[in-house]
């Protein structure tokens, strides 16, 4: 998928936003939705998606950045509080050659621990939904 193109309202994150697909929800307000990645690259891998329908950072409306990034930071702080990792990694991919697989703009938040390898993007197995819901509740409690 190229960087340019029309937003596809049938993408999985759009379905999650509309409540047509499930997610292990961490946080939601009028600006953003945060939920657990179902193919976690590290334990606690969380996604924060804006409610604005856009594909990448390139078509995201600049005046919406501040409010969205404040949510990303708030969730990252809660992830740190919930899991006490040694590091917190943020990833944001644009376009298929960059590794983007879901074309609704988002940030990944990945807790990193000393000596613990991260699974490759697209190489992680599917997590158990009950375990993800438990992690989501832990982060939500730390918000």
- Phi first, then psi: what are they for 93, rounded to 5°? -115, 140
129 binds ligand AMP (CB under 6 A): no
- Angle, helix 65-83 to helix 129-142, in steps of 10 degrees: 110
Q: Scan residues 60-99 and list those touching ligand AMP (CB under 6 A).
A: 93, 99
**Which stretch, 32-40, 52-60, 76-84, 133-141, contacts ligand AMP (CB under 6 A)?**
32-40
Measured CA distances, 12 to 19, 113, 114 (Å): 10, 29, 32
CB 96 → ligand AMP: shortest distance, Å?
A: 9
106 catalytic residue (yes or no): yes
CA distance 143 to 140: 5
CB 143 → ligand AMP: shortest distance, Å?
A: 19
Count Cα neighbours of 141 within 13 Å in the Cβ-side half-sphere. Answer: 8
101 binds ligand AMP (CB under 6 A): yes
The answer to whether 58 and 3 are in contact (CB under 8 A) is yes
The site for ligand AMP, by CB under 6 A, has a size of 12
CA distance 73 to 68: 9
38 binds ligand AMP (CB under 6 A): yes
Interface pick for ligand AMP out of 102, 118, 127, 137 (rule CB under 6 A): 102
Positions marked active-site: 106
Q: Which residues make up the interface to ligand AMP (CB under 6 A)?
A: 12, 21, 23, 37-39, 47, 93, 99-102
């Amino acid at each position: 998928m190229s960087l340019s193109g029309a937003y596809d309202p049938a993408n999985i994150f759009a379905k999650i936003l509309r409540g047509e697909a499930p997610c292990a929800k961490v946080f939601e307000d009028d600006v953003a939705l945060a939920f657990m990645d179902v193919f976690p690259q590290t334990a606690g891998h969380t996604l924060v998606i804006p409610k604005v329908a856009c594909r990448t950072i390139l078509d995201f409306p600049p005046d919406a950045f501040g409010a969205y990034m404040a949510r990303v930071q708030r969730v990252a702080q809660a992830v740190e509080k919930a899991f006490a990792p040694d590091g917190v990694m943020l990833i944001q991919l644009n376009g298929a050659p960059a590794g983007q697989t879901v074309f609704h703009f988002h940030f990944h938040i990945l807790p990193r621990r000393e000596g613990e390898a991260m699974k490759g993007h697209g190489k992680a197995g599917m997590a158990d939904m009950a375990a993800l819901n438990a992690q989501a509740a832990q982060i939500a409690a730390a918000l």
